Amino acid sequence: MRYSGYSFPLLVSLGSVQAFLLPVQYKTSCIMLSKTSSSSITTELYMAKSKTKKKKKSSGSSGGLKGFGGGSSSSTSSKSSTGGTIDRSPLSLKFYDYMQRNGGEANLKRVGLGYFPLQIGPTENDIIQLRGVIALKDISKGEAIIDIPYEMAINLGRESADPTLPATTLLQKYCTWKSNSDGPPGDKEKGDYFAMLPNLESDDCLGSTDFYSDAALHMLQCPSIVEETLSRREMVAARYERDVLPMAQMSSNLYRWEERKDDDSDNDESNIATELHLQWASWIITSRVLTVQGPPESTTANRLLIPLIDMCNHDRDSPHMLTGRAMEGGSLKVVAGADIKAGDQINIGYGGSVEGNDRFIQDYGFLDSGGSLELGKSKSKGELIIPEAYKIVAKKLLGKGRNRMSVAEEEKMLDAIQATTLDDDIALLASGKVTNNDERMALEYRIGVKRAYNALW
């Protein structure tokens, strides 16, 4: 099982090794950027005339959401030159200030947060605004798009197969800020970044199978996803009982989800973080944390939350590269693999662009409906494409491709997926009878897998 957040392909060019390590090290040349003074931060984020953006209603389909963003809330924003909308909501302005205070101000000359229209259904009403990272200026191939000092990253410990251990660390830091408890000043100062993480039980969060109902898990018709999901839940429950609850009962300052009131007794447990909160923190680990190699002389890989980089959405066909090391004085970068125009969205390829929708629905909570190149080809030819993310799953069922299953596992998976026909599933989806988002997404998943399986058979 792999619980790490993102992974990236092997990238080679001249220069020193400075690599994210998921799953393998890659090389790239070091790009140095000079710091800018706080007074020269771009007016694109702070000063331009703005307008209020009207929220558009989602149809409930989750197949096209690709990354940390979701449907937008009402916020202050303005249009970029190529269609993206710069986000100047109060939370985003505080985040920009956080970047400025902590050494990331140079990034705000190049990028900011923005909203981008995303079609998730057949009609003009099926458009939501997906939040992501927007280019504020033209950026040439080979230049750094994002350059975050290592000291800005939140190091949650060494890479391991268990997401719940770093989740306890994250939850403790998050609770220190959220409950205004006594704790390290640095944890409270990170509040302007923590406020940008997906909320507990938000649409982003609930897209992951970690939060599915039993009925929705059954509707996936995928025993491997169900088994891994239940295993993750068991790990969360064990970690909560073993580590979180005892520490919270021992100290009034640990793992408090809500701020203590003056009349709270020392034994009051009503505001202690619950098992659900730890499950949320574990999902943050699987969906947003990057595993990054340490100094050249070290074999240690570290789990890092990296502000701004973790806000890039997914595109399987993204040409951009990630580089850097978890070491003092180091930089963690997204380097342009192609020329970028102001207003473009900055996307990266989750899972090294080699993972399928069986991983995406578990780890990230969305279904990959096709990379930008895939979707461009389908539009030009007027064809319905079968996304590569579904083909990867279908190849496993056919005993092909990477990460092959045993014969017994293949038979078990095929028995489950053949419980209903593709025509039955399509009719059920079209009937409107499936209204819960998790069940609808599970149905979309199995339809996509069956289409890919039939095409590759």
Taking residues 232-236, report their average pLDDT. 97
Bridge partner list, 163? none
41 near 323, Cβ under 8 Å? no
What single-letter DSSP state applies at residue 259? P
Instruction: Provide the token pair at 123.
Output: 């009609």
Whole-number pLDDT of residue 163? 95
Torsion 246-247-250-255 (CA) sign: negative
- Residue 260: pLDDT band (50, 70, 90) is low
| pLDDT at 437 exceeding the cut of 60 | yes
Q: From residue 158, give the alpha-carbon distance in Å to each of 153, 171, 173, 289.
A: 14, 17, 17, 12
How deeply is 3 buried, as exposed, middle or buried, from its count of CB atoms within 10 A (0-12, 13-18, 19+)? Answer: buried
Find how far residue 290's CA is from the centre of its chain: 10
> Among 96-110, 159-173, 252-266, where is mean pLDDT lowest?
252-266
- Residue 185: pLDDT band (50, 70, 90) is confident
Alpha helices in 251-313 (DSSP H): 275-288
Cis upstream peptide for 23 (omega within 30°): yes
- Residue 355 makes CB contacts below 8 A (sequence gap 6+) with 7, 389, 392
Q: SS3 for 125? A: coil
3-class SS shares of the chain: helix, strand, coil, % to 5: 40, 15, 45
Higher pLDDT among residues 270 and 348, named by residue: 348
- Domain-wise residue ranges, the chain: 38-353, 381-456
Taking residues 17-25, report their average pLDDT. 32
- Residue 19: pLDDT band (50, 70, 90) is very low
In CATH terms, 38-353 corresponds, of 3.40.50.720, 3.90.1410.10, 2.40.30.20, 3.40.50.970, to 3.90.1410.10
288 near 305, Cβ under 8 Å? yes
- Residue 199: pLDDT band (50, 70, 90) is very high
| pLDDT at 253 exceeding the cut of 90 | no
Q: What is the pTM of this model?
A: 0.83
Q: From residue 24, give the alpha-carbon distance in Å to each of 19, 91, 322, 440.
A: 9, 35, 12, 35
Over residues 387-435, the pLDDT tens digits come to 999 999 999 999 887 777 888 898 999 999 999 999 999 999 999 999 9
> Among 11-15, 134-138, 209-213, 327-331, where is mean pLDDT lowest?
11-15
Torsion 117-342-32-321 (CA) sign: positive
What is the rounded average pLDDT for all residues in the chain? Answer: 82
| pLDDT at 275 exceeding the cut of 80 | yes
- Residue 328 makes CB contacts below 8 A (sequence gap 6+) with 150, 151
| pLDDT at 219 exceeding the cut of 50 | yes
- Residue 271: pLDDT band (50, 70, 90) is confident
Taking residues 219-240, report their average pLDDT. 97
Over residues 326-342, the pLDDT tens digits come to 999 999 999 999 999 99
Rounded CA-CA distance 54/76 in Å is 10
| Residue linked to tokens 């993206």 | 84
130 near 58, Cβ under 8 Å? no
Whole-number pLDDT of residue 7? 33
